Chain A
Amino acid sequence: MKYTLALAFLFLGLLVNAQPMTVTVDGEVSFDGANFTISEAGEDFAATLESESSVFVSVNSDDNWDKKNNPNQKWKIEVVKEDLVWNDIVQLEIVRTGQGYGDKNNQISGGSSYQVVNNTSTFFFSGRGLVTDIPVQLRLSGLSVTLGAQDFETNVLLTIYDN
C-alpha cells in the first residue's frame, strides 16, 4: 500500500512539473534598407549595425504551485542561433538593455554587454522569479557591400534552465 502511495505521489509530482518556467519573446528583428544606408558614394557600410527596435523577453511560469511557493526560483537563459541562410563573415551579437518588470527581489545579472551569438548554446543572463519585458537588442558586424545584395536569416533561440 505504502509503495503504491509513494508511486502515486511521484506521478503527481511529474504531472505538476509538466509546465516548468517558460521564456517568451515578443517582437521581431529585421535589418533592411532602412539600416543599410551608405551616406556617400565610395563608402562601405558602417562597422556595426544595431537593430532599431528591441525584442522583449519574459520569464513566466504556468505552474501555479511554483508561482505561489517558489517565487524566487533561480533561472538562467542561454542563447544560440540556428541558421537558415547565413554567411559566417557576418556576426550577430546580442545584449540585454534593461531589467524588465517583476518583483523587486527579482534581480537579473549578466548579458549587459554585447556577446556573439554562436551556433553553440552559451550563457546569456540569469535571474530569479518571474520577470516580464526584458529588453534585448541585436547588432550585426562584419557586413560589407562586397557581400552583394542578398538575404540572410537565422533563428535566435533562447532557452531557460533552472539555475
Chain B
Amino acid sequence: MKHKGTFLVIIMLFSITRFCIGSGKNAEHKASIIIPNVALLSLQYENSSGVELCGISPSSAGNTIKLEADSEVSVWLNYSSICHKNQKRKVTATVEGKIPEGVVLKLKAEDSVGNGNGELGKTNGTVVLGQRPADVISGIGSCYTGKGAHNGHLLSYQVELDETRFHQNTKNKGASVNVVYTLTDDN
C-alpha cells in the first residue's frame, strides 16, 4: 500500500513535468520589402493631343501679322516617381523639328492639382522651348500626381513673334514640331 502511494506520487510528478515544461518553441522567417526606383510620365488630353497655333492675317495692308497669344489645350502632365530620400527629379521639354525663324514657342506648366500626394514638383513658370531641354517642373521627389485629365500639371503653350527676324526670313511657312517631355534625375 505504501509502495503504491509512492508510485502514484512519482507518476503524478512525471505527468506534471510533461505538461508544464516544454512549451514555447518558435520558428522565424524573414519578410523583406524592396521598393524600387520608378519614374513614369504620361500626357493626358481631354480632346486632341495636337496644338495648333495660327497666325491671323492682317485686315488692312501694312498691318502686322498677329499670332494667337496663347493656347490652353487641356494637356495634363501625370507622373509617378519613387526615388531615394535626397534624390530629386525634374521634367524637361525638348522640341523635335524646326520652329520657324522669329517664332518663339513658350510653355507654361501650372502647379499640380487633383488627387496627387507626396513631394510633387514645382513649376518653373513659363519657359522657352527649343532643341535643348528646358526644365519645366523641378523638385520632384517620391510622389504621384493622380491619373488622367484634371490631375497633375496643366500645360499651355504660347507663341511670340520676333517681327524683325520673322519678316527677314521670307521662306517662313507652316511648321509642325513635336514637344518631348522627359522625367529625369535632377543632378
Contact = CB atoms under 8 A, between A and B. Distances in A.
Interface stretch (B65-73, B93-101, B115-123): B115-123
A29 to B, nearest CB: 5
B143 interface: yes
Interface stretch (A101-109, A125-133, A144-152): A144-152
Interface in B78-130: 78-85, 87, 116-119
Interface in B133-161: 141-148, 151-152
Contact of B26 (A44, A143, A145, A159): A159
Interface string B27-43: 11111111111101110
A73 to B, nearest CB: 9
A149 B34 CA distance: 8
A119 interface: no
Contacts of B22: 17-20, 162
B25 A22 contact: yes
Contacts of B119: 146
Interface string B152-172: 100000000000000000000
A61 B145 CA distance: 54
Interface residues of A, number: 60
B56 interface: no
17 contacts: A2-B6, A5-B10, A6-B10, A9-B13, A10-B10, A20-B22, A22-B27, A29-B29, A32-B32, A40-B78, A44-B117, A147-B35, A148-B82, A149-B35, A153-B30, A154-B31, A155-B29
A7 to B, nearest CB: 9
Contact of B40 (A19, A41, A161): A41
Interface of B: 3, 6, 9-10, 13-14, 17-19, 21-38, 40-42, 44, 78-85, 87, 116-119, 141-148, 151-152
Interface of A: 2, 5-6, 9-10, 12-14, 16-25, 27-33, 36, 38, 40-44, 55, 57, 81-82, 90, 92, 138, 140, 143-162
Contact of B152 (A5, A42, A44, A157): A42
A57 B22 CA distance: 19
Contacts of B13: 6, 9-10, 13
A153 B32 contact: yes
B17 A41 contact: no
